[in-house]
Structure 1
Amino acid sequence: MTTTALTLRQQTSRARTLTRALPALLLLVLALTGPLLAPQAIDQPVTSPYGPADDTAALGGDLLGRDVLSRLLSGGAPLIATALAIALVVTATATALGILAALRPRLGRWVERAADLVILLPAVLGIMLIALAWPAGGRLAVGAAATVLGIPYAVRVVAAAAAPIATTGYIETASAGGERLWHLMTREVLPNLRSTLLALFGLRFVEGVYVVSVAAFLQVGPQPPEADWALMIRENAPGILLNPWAVAAPCLAIGLLAISVNLAAEALAPTRPTPETPL
């Protein structure tokens, strides 16, 4: 492949990556700046319950007559912050445990057995157990439950990806040369898992959004009068025929967030160059 063709291919790849990541970035920026853009107070009625869209409320009113648009703009930041924290903790913990399990197979068998035991616990039951044991935890309790239940799956993924790397020649050479375990984990194995970890982070973020949303339907986690996309769906479901936007708008926001983050994670994950076929 000529230099010009290679440069053109790299530029095309970057443009494709930016195009797929842009919706996620714009949605994240909008969710974080939404409270500053809200035209009405999120806790004050401005129209009749489930009132139609008008000049005062562009998306109509919710069950208490509050502005749906203002609550939609203010309800994304808490959900995204919770899902982001879940994804970061799960990915970081699973990375350390998964690489350790691959480099130390004897210890890895115990790690994987412990992960298998936790996987047997249904996610919804785990959320309910932690919420009942920590009734004042609210959103923090849901985040803790999602983190505890998400780590075992992630550990299995990282361990499976790290196992072939741990048996390569350069890892064995570095280990025989006296390199410490921490050096092997961070300098030798971790850089080769970037693609896997980026994809895992995106999946864990979407899973965090899903868990928080399901918890809201179960009346666990965020509580009224807090503005939260998942909570908006649960609160306004009885009036969906009176003002569909009160339910459809947060549903669309959550769906677009999940899809755009998945596309961004896939686009940002580095791909291995394919060898050229000789002529």
Structure 2
Amino acid sequence: MSSAALAPSRAPRARVLLAVAPGALLTLLALTGPLFAPRPMDEPVTAPYAPPGPAALLGGDQLGRDVLSRMLHGGSALIGGALAVAVAVTAVAAVLGCFAVLSPAVGRLVERGADLAILLPPVLGMMLLALAWPGGRLAVMAAATGLGVPYAVRVVASAAAPVAASGYVEAAAAGGERLWHLALREVLPNLRATVLALFGLRFVAAVYVISMAGFLQLGPRPPAADWALMIRENAPGALLNPWAVVAPSLAVGLLAVSVNLAADALTPAARRAAVGAR
């Protein structure tokens, strides 16, 4: 095969790698950050809101702690929590969405749940659930999962409806296959592109909800190193040391954007694989 024929296949692969690389590098840095932190995250090393200097490359926070060290310690909890929420929401939605298009009873329950979720603003719902079940980050993660599932199920059900009406699914149903087999073996494997794109969206939504919980002090409590909590704590001194607020804000924004770009880049490849498997 000539190099000209290989070029088109290499170009999309290179674009996918370029889109995935920022998110992967940022996630790796956040997870391994504590190993590279120059100082303990709770040790005051400068005056409060000190500007960047040799003792603290990004300056000090409201208590004089090293902003860089706290940045390197604060990403793993946010990424881990958002990843757990995204996986839980996507998995539950994928299963329920497939059952919803095959079972009218499940479909009605999904519609009612989605209608209730639309009536309740996400931030308000998260506050109510987190306050009713005090538990720090776990309560926030549970609230984010519970509020995200109804929306996600509706997305999966919309994508699964044409698949459920296809000939091979009807043939399997006529052959006596059970509901769980139709949902998990016939419908779900053809929704890989939708599920992957949904995972990226739910990850970004989870970052938003968990970060918002940090701003509202519903998640981790001081002196925990958390990007969202750092923004709230250091906002009063933003004019003295902007990096205490800018650095965690950039980290949260870059994390959400990079994961969304990675999901968008991987979705076409998943769609081609799904079509080829039919």
Q: TM-score, normalised by structure 2?
A: 0.94
How far off its partner does 1:187 sit?
2.0
Aligned length: 271
Structure 1 Cα separation of the partners of residues 130 and 178 of structure 2: 41
How far off its partner does 1:3 sit?
8.1
- 3-state SS of the aligned residue for 1:255? helix
Q: Equivalences for 1:39-118 in 2 at 5 Å? A: 39-118=38-117
Deviations 1:133-176 (A, max 9, x none): 123x1111111111111111101100000011100001101111
How well do the aligned residues superpose, as a CA RMSD in angstroms? 1.5
2:145 to 121, 144, 147: 147
Deviations 1:205-246 (A, max 9, x none): 011110011111111111100001000000000000000000
Q: Which amino acid aligns with 1:25?
A: A
Structure 1 Cα separation of the partners of residues 232 and 225 of structure 2: 12
Structure with higher helix content: 2
Q: Equivalences for 1:134-173 in 2 at 5 Å? A: 134-135=133-134, 137-173=135-171
CA contact (8 A) 2:59 2:66 kept: yes
Q: Which amino acid aligns with 2:73?
A: S
Q: Percent identity?
A: 68
CA contact (8 A) 1:62 1:68 kept: yes
CA contact (8 A) 2:220 2:229 kept: yes
Structure 1 Cα separation of the partners of residues 105 and 147 of structure 2: 24
Show the counterpart of 1:198. 196
CA contact (8 A) 1:119 1:149 kept: no
CA contact (8 A) 2:164 2:187 kept: yes
> Which consecutive unaligned segments of at least 5 residues does structure 1 have?
274-279
1:262 to 222, 247, 260: 260
Evaluate the alpha carbon distance shift between residue 142 and residue 43 of structure 1 in structure 2; reply closer, same or farther with a 3 A threshold: same
How far off its partner does 1:107 sit?
2.8
Q: TM-score, normalised by structure 1?
A: 0.93
Deviations 1:190-210 (A, max 9, x none): 121111111110110011110
CA contact (8 A) 2:98 2:184 kept: no
Q: Which amino acid aligns with 2:221?
A: Q
Q: Which amino acid aligns with 1:237?
A: A
2:208 to 207, 210, 218: 210
Show the counterpart of 1:276. none
- 3-state SS of the aligned residue for 2:40? coil
How far off its partner does 1:183 sit?
2.0
How far off its partner does 1:5 sit?
5.6
Q: Which amino acid aligns with 2:146?
A: V
Which consecutive aligned stretches of 4+ in structure 1 deviate over 4 angstroms post-superposition?
2-6
Q: Which amino acid aligns with 2:139?
A: A
CA contact (8 A) 2:99 2:180 kept: no
